[in-house]
Amino acid sequence: MDNTEVLERAQKWQHPPFDEETRKLVTQLIENDPKELIESFCCDLEFGTGGLRGIMGVGTNRMNTYTVGMATQGLCNYLKKNFPNLPEIRAAIAYDSRNNSTRFAEVAAQVLSANGIKVYLFNKLRPTPELSFAIRTLHCQCGLVITASHNPKEYNGYKVYWEDGGQIVPPHDKAIINEVKAITDIGMVNFKGNEKFITLIGNEIDEIYLNTLASMSLSPEFIKKFSDIPIVYTPIHGTGVNLVPNALAKFGFRNVITVEEQCIADGNFPTVTSPNPEERSAMKMALDKARATNAELVLATDPDSDRVGVGIRIPKGEYVLLNGNQAASVLIYYILRKWHEHNQITGNEFVVKTIVTTDLIAAIAHGFGVDCYEVLTGFKYIAEKIRELEGVKTFIAGGEESYGYLYGDFVRDKDAVISCAMFAEVAAWAKSQDRTIYDILREIYQTYGLYKEHLVSLTRKGIDGLAEIKSMMEAFRSNPPKTIGGSKVGAILDYQNQTAIDTHTGKEKQLHLPKSDVLQFITADGTKVSVRPSGTEPKIKFYVGVRDSLNKGEDIDTAILRLDQKIESIINELNIK
């Protein structure tokens, strides 16, 4: 789109029905900031396979009440087509602590109700997993959560869920996208809400949700014995502020120490650079509090409380942060071990992980006689697998390397609330053996082998950044590495083309997962490098995974250091720093 077209699009926003503040801000862009004008009006904010996510501001390429309204009208149109015979179509809406989240949730509720759809709107901020739970509990046909998850404060988003409580997947995702694209003018949106179709919900759903979580406990006897272990928790200014401490209390933990400065819900996230528990800086205050209180465990949730960061105490009293692969492995190992001890494993159970998540989870699952399925990156595919096998096999747990975990199937998205409670339970179970989570992780390595992973994310913002990311993916496709870390690449998996190539024989097989812009290179020694653009951030991500067994007489720390050095060598070799 050339600059003239951009200006014409912007000028339409200088007149009604756009509100006065919007018109004023657009005029300021036209007169003073041509670069931002182009970024704001160069295109329509894409309604992707999960919904909307973008920088907040005026314009067709920004998150604002108008883009939210247009997306919701398209959703309404699809709901009516998909459920023509239902006497009442229902939708649930939740929102996080981000700036404008409350407003965007209200706009969505107004548009849904204006279209005759029954809306259950949470009365204040709530975690994303509780929205999934509410959809199922209230027998809704869809749900919305206003959040940009762990993105920086400038962002907000709009995620769509279906009647099973999982994020939308084919065929609904593409069909909803088409309906949203058909809303080409703001005049096509019915903003005149009908209050009789809107019901506020709150504590009653919280109580059902928390009681359901507590019923999943696997070691209540150890929690009772070690209920006073000190646990530091921070919601990083997000929705976990009430539910996570309440969930820990429901499980029986009595010594939860919160980071008070970060218990204030604030979309500016004033105490962190980014509200992402994957980043060590976001957990600094919690780690400082842990040192001051000699805590056993550190937990941090992102703004919508679907991801959790975990810190554990190691010998000599210092703390280390588990990465998402390590945390998922510990959690799933504990759950499977307890299921085994309780004689609950019959051979008809399964766990799920994503293709970029550690293969250690598969090794653990197989060790307990449990199937492990792999799905594309994104927890919605884990939810899809649960739905696919519902009534056929029993889902136990799932995990992804990006700090998302799920135990049980009453929620169909990653759930940091139950995950926090379960990590605390693992700590109590370990303490009953005079051990720590650190010791449990080492036991896993000794039993199943050493697996070590590292993620490199390269940020490339704006229109130029998107083009650069696309160019990088094309370069890896056209000129794939022949060796990685001194080991020959034996297989190239291209999920965009849905092919797996054996580089030794040249034979090609079809991949039976949906198309996705992901490349994987697997070497003879088991090293795996995955490359993909992020679906939610302006980033390209490189996942480097290596594995090995302990040499005779070698201690774990030395072996881990050896794998860390190998990862660093691969990063340098591929020039992805």
Question: Among all residues, which ones are annotated catalytic?
Answer: 149
CB atoms closer than 10 angstroms to residue 333 = 25
Can you say whether the dihedral through the CA atoms of 165, 95, 287, 417 is positive or negative? negative
Say if CB 122 and CB 94 are below 8 A apart.
yes
E strand or H helix at 173, and its extent?
helix 172-181
Helices 20-32 and 34-41, axial angle in degrees (round to 10): 130
- For 158-177, b where at least 16 C-beta lie within 10 A, e where not — what string? bbbbbbbbbbbbeebbeebb
β-strand pairing of 528-533 with 539-548: antiparallel
Say if CB 419 and CB 299 are below 8 A apart.
no
Q: Give which of 187, 167, 181, 197 is closest to 71, Cα–Cα.
A: 181
Which tokens in the block code for residue 108? 């969505």
Cβ-defined contacts of 465-471 (< 8 Å, 24+): 465/538, 466/538, 469/533, 469/538, 469/539, 469/540, 470/533
Residues 6+ apart with CB under 8 A from 87: none
329 torsion bin: left (phi>0), alpha (psi -120 to 50), beta (else): alpha
Q: Give which of 53, 55, 61, 69 is closest to 19, Cα–Cα.
A: 69
| Angstrom distance (rounded) from CA 231 to CA 245 | 10
CA 114 to chain centre: 31
Q: Give which of 379, 367, 347 is closest to 149, Cα–Cα.
A: 379
- Which phi and psi (to 5°) does residue 406 adopt? -145, 135
- For 518-543, b where at least 16 C-beta lie within 10 A, e where not — what string? bbbbbbeeebbbbbbbebbbbbbbbb
Specify the residue for token string 């034996």.
490
